[in-house]
Amino acid sequence: MRDWKRIEALQLENRDWFRPWEATNPEGPMNFDFRALVRNSLRQLNDESSLPLVIEYQGKLVGQLTVSNILHGSASTAYIGYWISPLVAGNGITPIAVALATDYMFKVVGLHRIEIDIRPENKASLRVVEKLGFRFEGTKKGFIHINNAWRDHSVFALTADEVPGGLVNKFMKH
Ligand X SMILES: CC(C)(COP(=O)(O)OP(=O)(O)OC[C@H]1O[C@@H](n2cnc3c(N)ncnc32)[C@H](O)[C@@H]1OP(=O)(O)O)[C@@H](O)C(=O)NCCC(=O)NCCS
Residues lying near ligand X in the complex (CB under 6 A): 17-18, 21, 82-84, 86, 89-95, 118, 122-125, 127-128
| Contacting residues for 11 by C-beta, under 8 A, at least 6 apart | 18, 32, 34
At closest approach, how far in Å is the CB of 120 from ligand X? 11
Nearer to ligand X, 11 or 77 (CB): 11
Distances (CA, A) of 8 to 2, 88, 148: 11, 17, 20
Nearer to ligand X, 84 or 163 (CB): 84
At closest approach, how far in Å is the CB of 144 from ligand X? 9
At closest approach, how far in Å is the CB of 44 from ligand X? 19
Q: Are 65 and 81 in contact (CB under 8 A)?
A: yes
Nearer to ligand X, 92 or 110 (CB): 92
At closest approach, how far in Å is the CB of 159 from ligand X? 20
Q: What is the phi/psi pair of residue 81, to 5°?
A: -130, 155
Burial class (CB in 10 A: 0-12, 13-18, 19+), 49: middle
Distances (CA, A) of 31 to 38, 48, 92, 156: 12, 23, 29, 28
Residue of minimal CB distance from ligand X?
Answer: 90
Nearer to ligand X, 47 or 174 (CB): 174
